[in-house]
Copies of this chain bind each other. A is one copy, B any other.
Amino acid sequence: MEFENLAGKLKALSEPTRLKIIGLLKVRDCCVCELVPVFGISQPAISKHMFRLKSAGLVKEERRGKWVFYSLNKEAFKELGFDLSVLPDLTNELKAIEDQGSSVQCNILEQA
Judge whether A7 and B15 touch: CB under 8 Å.
yes
Q: Does A35 contact B (CB under 8 A)?
A: no
Binds B, one of A43-51, A81-89, A95-103: A81-89
How many copies altogether? 2
Q: Does A79 contact B (CB under 8 A)?
A: yes
Q: Does A28 contact B (CB under 8 A)?
A: no
Q: Helix, strand, loop or mixed for chain A's interface?
A: helix
Judge whether A87 and B19 touch: CB under 8 Å.
no
* Chain B residues whose CB sits within 8 angstroms of the CB of A6 once the complex forms: 19, 86-87
Out of B1, B80, B86, name the residue touching A79 (CB < 8 Å).
B86
Q: A18–B14 Cα gap in the complex (Å)?
A: 14
User: Residues of A with Cβ closer than 8 Å to B?
Assistant: 1-4, 6-8, 10-11, 13-16, 18-20, 23, 79-88
The 6 nearest A-B residue pairs measured at CB: A81-B86, A81-B83, A10-B14, A11-B14, A14-B14, A7-B16
